[in-house]
Structure 1
Amino acid sequence: MFRTAITFIALLLGTLIFGSLVLLAQLFGIKPGPGSVYEKAPRWWSWWLLRAAGVKVVLRGDDSLVKGAPRVFIANHVSWFDIPAMIDALPHYGFVAKRELEKIPLFGPAARAVGVIYIDRENRKAAFGAYEDAAKRIRDGHPVLVYPEGTRGAEYALRPFKKGPFVLAISSGAPIVPVVIHGTIEVNPRDEFRASPGTVYVHILEPIPTAGLSYDDRDALAERVREAMAECLRTEYGVDPALVAREARAVRSVPEARLST
C-alpha cells in the first residue's frame, strides 16, 4: 500500500507540475519543436511516475526503429502503466486515445497540447475527423501510437483488433511498427488500485509496410500485425499459444470510419 500511495501522490504532483508547464507554454505561444517543453514534459512525467512506482523499462528489439521517419506504432494494451512505459521507451510521439481521457482535469488538455488525438468511438463522423488528423500528423513526419484492442485487457493474450488503426496506417502511407508490452499487468492490473515495482519490456518488432495498400487491405494488414505480435508473446514471454489462437479466431465486427486512401 505504501508504494501505491507514493505512486498516486507522484501521479497527482507530476500531472500538476508538468501539465501546467505545457499549458503555460501554450498560453505564452511557445511553438512545438525538437527539444521544446512539449517533447520534454511527457518524458519528465513518465520518468517521475515510473521511479515512484519502482518500475524499470527495458527496450528490446531494433531501437533504431523508434527514431527518425514517421511511423504508426501498434501496441497491445493491458494496463494504465502502458502509457508511461511507452513514453519512456519511444521518442516524442502523438497517440490516439479515447475521448473520455480528455475530461480528466489538467491531464486531458495538457495531453492534447503534446500531441494526443482523442477519438469519440460513439460518433462515427467525429472519429473519421480524428483519424484524418492523425493521418495528416503522420504524413507531416510525426509518429503516432495506437492501441488497436481499444481498452485494457486482463491478460497478455491478444484480443480482437479494431480496424480503424490499420485504415489510419494505410491512409498515412507510413509503415506499421508492432510493439509488444509485457510486465505492466504485474505493475498495475486492470481494475485494481495498486502499483508494484517491476520490470516492463517494450519489444519493438520489424516494421510492416503499408505503401500501395488500399482500404480493402485493412483486414489482411491487421491480421499480419496481430500474428507478429502473438508470435512474439509466445516465443519471448511464454504467453499460452492456445489462448492466443483462440482469441485470434474472435473477430470483432464494429462500424468503422472510412478514410480516403
Structure 2
Amino acid sequence: MFRTALTTVALLLGTIVFGSIVLLARLVGVPQGKDSVYEKAPRWWAWWLLRAAGVKVVVHGADRPVSGSRVYIANHVSWFDIPAMIEVLPHYGFVAKRELEKIPLFGPAARAVGVIYIDRENRKAAFGAYEDAAQKIREGRSVLVYPEGTRGVSYALRPFKKGPFVLAIGSGAPIVPVVVHGTIEVNPRGEFRASPGTVHVHLLEPIPTEGLTYDDRDALGERVRERMAECLREQYGVNPALVSREARSTSAAVDTLRPQNS
C-alpha cells in the first residue's frame, strides 16, 4: 500500500510539475528539437515515477547502432510500459489512443511533446493520424506504436492491427521490434497498485521497410510479430499458443458489450 500511495503522489505531482513546464515552454515559443525541454521533461517524469514505484529498467540490445528515424513496435501489457519506454528510447513520439488526450494537463502536455492521438473508432481519422505520424518520421522523428491496441493481461502476443505497419511502410523507416517484460508484475491491467520490480526492455534487430508497398503490410506485421514472439519464448518461456485463448476471451467480452442491433 505504501508503494502504491507513493507512486500515486509521484504521478500527480510529476504530471503537474513537468506537464506545466512543457505547456509553459510551448506558450512562450520554445522550439522543438533534440535535448529541448520537450525531450527532457518526459524523461524527468518517467524517472520520477519509476523511482517512486521502485522499478529498475534493464535494456537489452542498446548496443546496436541507431541512426535516422525508427518505428518502434512494442507489446503492451501495463500502464508502466509507457514510463519504461520513455526512459529507454531516444527522442521519439507516441501514437496513442485519443481517450488519453482527455486527461487534464497530461493530455495537452503529451501532445506538446509529440504524442499523436488516434481515434480507434474512426478508421478514416485513424489513418489520417498515421499519415501525420509518417510525415514526422520522414522529417527525422522516431515513433513508438503499440500494435495490439489496448493492454493485455498476459505476455502472450495478441493479434496486431494493420495501421502501424501501413505507417512504417509509408514512412520508409525501419521497424525496431521491442519486447517489454516485467511490467505486469509492477502494475497489472485492471488493478490499482504498484509493486517494485525489474522491467526488461529488448530492442530487437531492425526490420527494413524501404521498397515495401501497402500490399506488404500483412507479411511485414507477421514478420515483426514472429520476431517478438521468438524473444518472449526464448527469454521468458512465453507460449505463443496462449494468445488464442486470450484473443477469444477478449472477443467474447467485446461481444457482450456490443449493441445487439450492431
Could you say which TM-score interval applies, normalised by the shorter chain?
over 0.9
Deviation at 1:240, TM superposition (A): 2.0
Q: 1:12 aligns to what? A: 12
Aligned to 2:35: 35
Structure 1 residue 92, shift from structure 2 partner = 1.6
Is the Cα contact below 8 Å between 1:56 and 1:198 reproduced in 2?
Answer: yes
Q: How many residues align?
A: 250
- Alpha-carbon separation, structure 2, partners of 1:75 and 1:107: 22
Amino acid at match of 2:16: L
Partners of 1:242 and 1:79 lie apart in 2 by: 21
Cα offset, 1:122, TM superposition:
1.1
- Contact (CA 8 Å) 1:95, 1:144: kept in 2 or not? yes
Distance (Å, rounded) in 1 between the aligned partners of 2:134 and 2:63: 24
Q: Structure 2: which 5+ residue stretches go unaligned?
A: 252-262
Report the counterpart of residue 149 of structure 2 in structure 1.
150
Moved over 6 A (4+): 245-250
Return the alpha-carbon distance in structure 2 between the equivalents of residues 63 and 113 of structure 1.
30
Aligned to 1:227: 226
- Is 1:86 aligned with 2:85? yes
Quote the sequence identity (%): 81
What is the alpha-carbon distance in structure 1 between the residues aligned to residue 63 and residue 51 of structure 2? 22
Q: CA RMSD in A?
A: 1.7
* Distance in 1 between residues matched to 2:171 and 2:60, nearest whole Å: 26
User: Structure 2 length normalisation: TM-score?
Assistant: 0.92
1:189-211 Cα distance to aligned partner (Å, 9 max, x none): 00000000000000010011111
SS at match of 1:194: coil
Deviates more, 1:240-249 or 1:150-159: 240-249
Distance 1:246 1:206, change over 3 A: farther
Contact 1:158 1:247 in 2 (8 A): no
After superposition, what is the alpha-carbon deviation per residue over 1:76-99, rounded to whole angstroms, capped at 9, x for unaligned? 000000000000011121010000
Q: Give the partner amino acid of 2:29.
A: G
1:126, distance to aligned residue in structure 2 (A): 1.4
- Residue 256 of structure 2 aligns with which residue? none
Aligned: 1:49 with 2:49: yes
1:196 corresponds to: 195
CA distance 1:158–1:88, shift in 2 (3 Å): same
- Aligned 8 A contact 2:70 2:143 in 1: yes
Within 5 Å, give how 1:37-116 maps onto structure 2. Answer: 37-65=37-65, 67-116=66-115
TM alignment of 1:207-222, pairs within 5 A = 207-222=206-221
In structure 1, distance between residues paired with 2:175 and 2:247: 19
C-alpha contact 2:160 2:221 (8 A) present in aligned 1: yes
How far apart in 2 are the matches of 1:249 and 1:231?
22
Does the aligned pair in 2 maintain the 1:57–1:200 contact within 8 Å?
yes
Structure 1 counterpart of 2:2: 2
